[in-house]
Chain A
Amino acid sequence: MRAINVSGLTKRFGRVTAVNRISFYVEEGEVFGLLGPNGAGKTTTINMLATLINPTSGHAEVAGAVIGRDNYKVRKRIGIVFQDPTLDNKLTGRENLHLHAMLYGLKRGIIKERIRKVLKLIELEGKADMLVGNYSGGMKRRLEIARGLMHKPRVLFLDEPTLGLDAQTRRRIWEYIKSLKQEGMLSVILTTHYMEEADYLADRVAIIDNGKIVAIDTPANLKKSLGGDIIQLYIRGSEKSYRGLIHKINDRIKVKKTDLRLARTQTGEDELLITVEGGNDKVPLIISMAEREGVRVVSLDIHTPSLEDVFLHFTGRNIREDGADGYERNREFIKRMRR
């Protein structure tokens, strides 16, 4: 049996179609990644699957129960870490966990033991009796993950679990998630902005853009599907010279249109991405063509496709381009204001 089965799921907010007829499944014991730029519809999808908002149309089964019809069963069987914090800052870490355990109907006898276990897992035993309002962002996130796991859900939703955390804390959270997977039948659905995160954790990835799933496969297959190497050129020149160069490359190297991209940057150095078989051999030719067209090549890089390239290929956008970092900082700022 599958952990999640979604078909034709749609959510409209007034005139905005946040999620547009998406279909996918998640196997039991699988970590499934949902990758997409800001506003792609990731959180809306999760909110529907977690029964917090009703779909406009479509059908979904989560942990063997149908959303909209058996919400109680769905709720009982899932754990969730929301994108924004949902802890009670005026309670201690232990009290937050205790409240959660009681809400999920855990037996009194096992609550204490369960709390001790998850606190150990997230290494917060020493801070358990401190008010959550005094926790750092990373500690809060770990507590939320622990809380989501306390009632032994069959499906765990993680909406950007490492958003705004430092590299070290992020690593540690990755390790928790990995270790969960080794423990058995828990299925995880994870949204993220971080390509490395999806690459490292997810068995399969869906790329979602503008409410639609545009690609879905294992990270390895997605990368392979791009084929060849990626030549990344940082160039300077006029609009006309760029057009000339692109024309030449299309003509002589015969790359498919979608695999040739020009991205403007603020610094005046523009970025040209060419996906092509046998990249190493093509470099000299491309450079000489650039020279002839009057385009100055400032630097270049050749690599095999990463998930980032896959993302770019399918969405036409760099995930950081629309300011993922600035956005995060902003979000962090808002969070701090709230405290």
Chain B
Amino acid sequence: MINLTAVYVLWLRETKRFLRSKSRVVGSLAMPLMFLLFLGLGFRGMAVPGVSGGTGYLDFLLPGILGMSVIFTSMIAGISVLWDREFGFLKEIMVAPVDRTSIILGRIAGGCTTAIIQAASIMVIAAFTGFHLGGVLSIIYESAFIIAIAVAFIGLGLIFASQMSDIQGFNLIINLVIFPLFFLSGALFPISNLPGWLRVFSYLDPLTYGIDGLRGVMTNSSMMAAGADMLVLIAFAAVIVVTGAYLFEKSNVV
């Protein structure tokens, strides 16, 4: 049975912690915005190879950058279990009469909220530079993709957190896991430009479908139909979260 009060209060905690940590709020926006600014301006006006005409590079890039901000935040939301373990707070949660599923749902809800806040901030800033935001419906579709990406990567964070004993390996994970997944996803260039053997890995990367889906919704230029992207993404997310939850349950608290 899911304990909604516990989910709510754990969500509240994550959200408060995020909003209170100014460096996290600023830091999480700075990198995506720099990518957007420099790559967007640097490749301005260039035709994107492999993309049908009409879509400028900035339009092509924005969904990729959204995906980037989402995977970084949500991966950190998942891995932050490690910080809770390091600072002892995990014990307070784990000794409470709350089932593990609710604890994980609370974390997922918190991670999704921060991901949405960030994506919305990026969109608003992009709108000032002339990006067309689209109607309510497309915003709902975009949110759905952002949440699905967030869930998958929170789950991935949980998987890593339950395999690591301390926060030492954190940078390694960022460099050896997040960046490759980001580059493979086609966030910065169409994956059709990649050599075939490398493209295989792109198809194994859940972010590929998230970004393709976002692109379909935001610019109408995608490889697959958005609905198909969503289905694949949900399948990935489900498998990853269930694995993460299982490993979290099995991992040591003390």
Contact = CB atoms under 8 A, between A and B. Distances in A.
A103 B96 contact: yes
B82 to A, nearest CB: 13
A100 B6 CA distance: 10
A15 interface: no
Nearest to B12: A99
A89 B8 contact: no
A104 B97 CA distance: 6
Given A52-B95, A52-B254, A53-B253, A88 B9 contact: no
B98 A103 contact: yes
A291 B88 CA distance: 56
Given A51-B95, A72-B97, A76-B97, A86 B89 contact: yes
Contact of B89 (A78, A87, A95): A87
B91 interface: yes
A50 B95 contact: yes
Contacts of B97: 72, 75-76, 103-105
Nearest to A50: B95
Interface residues of A, number: 28
Contacts of A289: none
A52 B94 CA distance: 7
Contacts of A165: none
Interface string A295-339: 000000000000000000000000000000000000000000010
A102 B97 CA distance: 10
Contacts, number: 72
A89 B87 contact: yes
B96 A75 contact: yes
A86 B91 contact: yes
A84 interface: yes
A100 B99 CA distance: 15
Contacts of A88: 13, 17, 87, 89, 92
Contacts of B99: 72
Interface residues of B: mostly helix, strand, loop or mixed? helix
A101 B80 CA distance: 23
Interface residues of B, number: 28
A52 B95 CA distance: 7
Contacts of A103: 5-6, 9, 93, 96-98
B206 to A, nearest CB: 30
B254 A47 contact: yes
Nearest to A76: B97
Contacts of B91: 52, 82, 86
B95 A338 contact: no
A184 interface: no
A104 B253 CA distance: 19
A99 B11 CA distance: 11
A23 B33 CA distance: 62
Given A88-B17, A105-B97, 7 more contacts: A50-B95, A75-B96, A80-B95, A85-B87, A86-B92, A98-B9, A103-B9
Interface in B209-254: 252-254
Contact of A105 (B5, B13, B86, B252): B5
A76 B93 CA distance: 12
A64 to B, nearest CB: 14
B132 interface: no
B175 interface: no
A105 B8 CA distance: 12
A47 B253 CA distance: 10
Contacts of B93: 103
17 contacts: A51-B95, A52-B91, A52-B253, A53-B252, A75-B97, A82-B88, A82-B91, A86-B91, A86-B92, A88-B89, A90-B16, A95-B13, A99-B9, A100-B92, A100-B96, A102-B8, A103-B93
A177 interface: no
Per CB-CB distance, the 7 closest pairs between chain A and chain B, nearest first, are A86-B88, A102-B9, A103-B96, A75-B97, A76-B97, A86-B92, A90-B17
Interface in B68-126: 86-99
Interface string A62-89: 0000000000100110101010111111
Contacts of A51: 95
Given A53-B253, A103-B6, A91 B92 contact: no
Contact of B95 (A75, A84, A85): A75
